[in-house]
Structure 1
Amino acid sequence: MNVNRSFKIGILLGQLLILGSCGNAPKEEEKLNQTKEINAVDILGNPDYQAISYGGYRGISREEQPTIAQLKEDMKIMAAMGIKVLRTYNVQPNLPHASNILAAIKELKNEDADFEMYVMLGAWIDCKNAWTGLEPDHNIESEANAGEIARAVALANKYPDIVKVIAVGNEAMVKWAASYYVQPAVVLKWVNHLQGLKKKGKLSKDLWITSSDNFASWGGGDYIYHTPDLTKLLKAVDYVSLHTYPMHDTHYNAVFWGTLSFEKSLTTHEKMDAAMGRARDYAKSQYRSVVEYMTVVGVDKPVHIGETGWASVSNGHFGPDGSRATDEYKSAKFYHLMRDWTNKEGISCFYFEAFDERWKDAANKLGSENHFGLFTLDGKAKYALWDQVDAGVFKGVTRGGKPITKTYNGDKKELMKDVLFPPLK
């Protein structure tokens, strides 16, 4: 063989080998990424891990527990729309909802190695005499709290590949929760307890601990919340999980809600879009108020949204005879505005909520608390998700054995008949 030709062939083979090795590199990197354990630090603030608050109850009472099969149906629906992190609320012994959710996710992971879902596990916290008919004592905690924490720990250890956060309490410190709220010292006690278990190796060191509460409870509101114990709590948690609900304030706060006089010439959509933009900005202001308070007390930690949402129906304060805030157009607008803002800013948003739940206001079918879902009870996608239905993301998934379809049969003109103008300011 000609030496020069042989040299050229050698160079060509070397180039091919280099190209081949470069082509394999991403696959090797991808393989490593797939085997890496995903933890809260990877999930929270990551727009690839969309979050939502989830209750799978389909009846008028929580005694009607959803089955594992029903929970798996819901997991598949949420996974189809890109949800990878769920928030639950309690681990009460007679309500196995949270433990059944974890079991359902485990089954789905066993059935499909690519199925991915994680949980922010809530432990309910009460004061003494909460829900008993006796006068609540907000300075003493319920004897039941210790059991809640113990069950949360047990589940976190049983499902370490799924449970990535434990939240101590849900709106447990805000003073308008008059039936059950506790002082920050109670929440602090249990947060410190869980952090101590992490240090002792009795909980994963990568498990994040927080409490999920109203923005005011985190120092963003009235000065009555600005206590030494709150500062200690802010320093003890791994991140802050705050709640913001502009919809609830539409009935009380005309500063941001309503149609401004100079907006009268706008189109129907423009008027409502302007009002909803102000609602989003109102949520932003509550978020900033917490961050600013944390700065004042010398705390620099992530702040994520543990709850926010917008109901689509109300026959009370937020309906036609009140602030005229609730319909599917406005709830969809708020959903997309909040997702756009939080995704851009690296804020996790556990949107409230995935599905309508009937038990929340069992005596009033049209009560707003029953209608915060992105899906109706029978699995119809509300206006916020119509584009996903059109894109076919729910193909092959069902709720109650029925395929996912649009509310109003997908007729926007019919939907708009139920849309209410915000009142003129």
Structure 2
Amino acid sequence: MFFSTLLTIFSGWFNFALTPQEVPLIPWHENPIFQLPTEGDEEVERILEQYLEGLANRNVPINQQGVWIQTHWATLGDNRGTIPAPAASITKVATTLGALDKWSVDHRFLTNIYTTGDILGGVLQGDLIVEAGNDPFFVWEDAIALGDEIRKLGIERVRGNLIIVGDWQMNFKENNLTSGDDLRRALNSDNWNYTVETQYQGMENPPPRPQLVIEGENIFRDGLPPASNLLYTHSSKPLHQILRAMNLYSNNFIADHLAQQIGGGDQLGAIASKLSNVPPEEIQLINGSGLGVDNRISPRAACRMLIAIEQKIANHNITIADLFPVSGIDEGTLKERNIPFGVPVKTGSLAVVSALSGVIDTEERETVYFAIMNYANGLDDLRNRQDQLLTDLDNHWQTRPILPMP
């Protein structure tokens, strides 16, 4: 009796819950997923045609100019968009993507400081050892801060040598000997020149001027000496700040240094093509900086790499504007440009190459990605025309600035 009553209750409940009149019916074509703007844009096509006509009127061969404009859902503009072309520093977009694939956005490169011997009365009775940690952005300010930390640890003089372990590179110099001389100079303000003094004056909350005296020589070796004792570890800036500095100033040293750690140009290209879902032939790289016309990227691949970068940082408290310079906010490579406000971009230039790629946030089409690869003489004119193309797009849409996180 109990089970039959319970069955009756549940049967009535299920019949009530599934009454057709109670289920809201939404026509399939009105579902939000089917409202995504997947169609093209005739006005964008007209703007692109006008841009290409302007180049043709200047006798620039259109068959050597690449343009690609897309959203997540539609291709809006295309002129030789899938054909790889000399990309100059747009290559650094691939380097940015490869670095974010290898390390976390907050990764820090570590420079370890070791000693041999005891510290007696402020004097290290042995050697001071610096172990390179592949930091591509170790500069005067880092060395000055390092000197202050050594002072705090009770060392004012080193009886022995300054031993440098590994591939030591500082101030964007590849030469180990020169970088070693820079390190020694930075550790003692009595040896500073105008360049070091200028960098010190520009530091935020500068430490006391270091005055570490090293009696011995600079010695370079591959491994740590026996009986080395870890004294201190210096951490670099977080990776996303290093990448932004690289892209803001288009720093070739940082880019090539990172690419070498990733595996070189070929490996970087393979990683970038896989992550951005384009054929390998659309990303052909020989280094991470873009120096040389043999670094070739299609405009479509440049856009897809920006999308892949956004996916990499999606779960972190940064935007793409925290990785690339933003028009109207940053100078660097944007100092002479007239790009609409709030557009994160990467520029690229070689003798006859002018390239530009970036992201526009719009009300109508959500995020729009663009890449322009010009191959011609007259770089100033090419840049002005790129800026006008973006201005025309900005006038066509209701745009919103993409800004770095506060």
TM-score category by the smaller chain? under 0.3
TM-score, normalised to structure 2, is 0.23
Q: Which has the higher contact order (CA 8 A, sep 6+)?
A: 2
Of Structure 1 and Structure 2, the greater strand share is in 2
